[in-house]
Amino acid sequence: GGAGSGSDGPSLMRMLDAVETPDYLRLSAKDLKKPIHAAITELDDEIATAHENIADQAIEHIHANEVILTHGRDATVEIFLRAAAKKRQFEVIVAETSPSHDGHATAAALAAAGIATTLIADCAVFAMMARVNKVIVGAHAVMANGGIYATASCHLLALAAHHHSVPLVVCAGLYRLGGGFPPGAPS
């Protein structure tokens, strides 16, 4: 959760850890104002500090001389990788993510930050996965069953990683957690 709000209202982490939740349906409109304001402030703090909070954990997930695979363009993933590069040497392979080719911008940004970077075509992901220690992706949303909403090519990375038993790490702020399930998924 975000730091600095100092409110007595529920934080995102406390909401996730809560054993019981207040019955907001029984509160009057006047009594709802404070918890709603506190929740909005907490969400605002979480959004403002999400990249920083995730980047602080980079050193725990990326080790020296690892080969990381990512794809497309995701600000959270780029910040995460740049934070790890401050203390560790590693290589990043970036899939270009056709047809948008967003991976080109990611590869250029990482190379400019001094990270050893290789750009590959999407069709080479499966072949390269045997060299990879970890796949790191961003997500638009993380669903209740652990599934994610992400760019379409993320599914290709996940299937190749699963086949080669390579861990897949999703970089996403708490505010991206959803209570729903993807369409067609068992609940």
* pLDDT tens digits, 100-141: 999 999 999 999 999 999 999 999 999 999 999 999 999 888
Contact indicator for 95, 121 with CB cutoff of 8 Å: yes
Contact indicator for 96, 122 with CB cutoff of 8 Å: yes
pLDDT in tens, the chain (187 residues): 444 444 454 555 665 666 566 677 777 778 888 888 888 877 777 777 677 877 777 888 899 999 999 999 999 999 999 999 999 999 999 999 989 999 999 999 999 999 999 999 999 999 999 999 999 999 888 888 888 888 888 999 999 999 999 999 998 877 777 777 766 666 5
Indicate the burial class of 77 (C-beta count within 10 angstroms; 0-12, 13-18, 19 or more).
buried
Alpha-carbon distance of 68 to 81, in angstroms, equals 9
DSSP secondary-structure letter at 83? H
Question: Token match 């750009």: residue?
Answer: 119
> pTM higher than 0.85 for the full model?
no
> Taking the CA atoms of the chain, what radius of gyration do you get in angstroms?
19
Q: Count of alpha carbons within 13 Å of 56, Cβ hemisphere only?
A: 6
- Give the residue among 137, 82, 139 at the shortest CA–CA distance from 109: 82
What is the torsional sign of CA 104, 108, 114, 118? positive
